[in-house]
Structure 1
């Protein structure tokens, strides 16, 4: 019996944002599946698009709130992506602390109906001079609230 993709429930259907991403032929491995390392790349590209579309990152992409690093990245692979083409990454903020933010994500079909992988990602904003954690700006907090999941 062939495996089929399943739908994974998110906080609510109206939480978060769906960002289009492209899977290219060369993202597939020798088995014809999206290579496991490419899922994280798709998630990172979706986050960059989300923040850049809202004016963050600056000319080099690493100014201000854009100067942050990954603290943790978790992923569960549900079913493989087996074709190149357009997909989506559904993003939402789970928790925003003083200097860190944890967000959930799903790598999914372009319409968001099918989930291929899901997980969470935590970043820490750093001061670009000292490389120490520094608080998020009020503007970043305001934008993050637009895709924040309700607290359970």
Structure 2
């Protein structure tokens, strides 16, 4: 996946902080932390639009979704604690799927640490794929490339 043509107007950019427990034994951000930090950035975006969980109950049926695919390419290590940026956008939104692109950047945006894609599938309470609501599509439209 090439993200070279992206700019700061694509999708949304969130500030994240790398903490000491995000680092591995050699002092770089552990590979598993990228998925977690991306999840937090995406959750922050959706929470700003009223999507979340309270007392274990989803605020919308669109909150019932699962990751089908997560692919990441590492370009440069994050070599310590402190602020970084997480940029994500939607490449496409199908009837029950959403294909996100993302990248991790240095605080000044000059270094791309990693990029990739994440595919989400909207499900009903039985775990079967189901359509996104019109309300979620309206929010997601802000992220479409």
Range that drifts further, 53-62 or 100-109? 53-62
Q: TM-score, normalised by structure 1?
A: 0.86
Partner of 1:31: 26
Q: Structure 1, residues 43-72: CA drift from partner, whole Å, max 9, x if none?
A: 111111111111112423744111100000
Retained in 2: the 8 A contact 1:57–1:64?
A: no
Give yes or no for contact 1:74–1:120 (8 Å, CA) kept in 2: yes
- Measure the CA separation in 2 of the matches of 1:38 and 1:132: 29
1:92 pairs with 2:73: no
Give the 5 Å matches for 1:2-151.
9-59=4-54, 60=56, 62=58, 63-128=60-125, 130-149=126-145
Q: Secondary structure at the match of 1:50?
A: helix
Q: How many residues align?
A: 141
RMSD of equivalent CA atoms: 1.5
Contact 1:78 1:117 in 2 (8 A): yes
Query: Structure 1, unaligned stretches of length 5 or more?
Result: 1-7
CA gap of 1:10–1:54, structure 2 versus 1, over 3 A, is farther
User: Which TM-score applies when normalising by structure 2?
Assistant: 0.90
**TM superposition outliers: structure 1 runs of 4+ over 6 Å:** none
Alpha-carbon shift at residue 112 of structure 1 (Å): 3.0
* Structure 2 Cα separation of the partners of residues 79 and 61 of structure 1: 39
Residues 90, 112 of structure 1: 8 Å contact kept: no
- Deviations 1:69-126, CA, capped at 9 Å, x for gaps: 0000000000000010111110100010000100100011234332100000000011
Higher strand share: 2
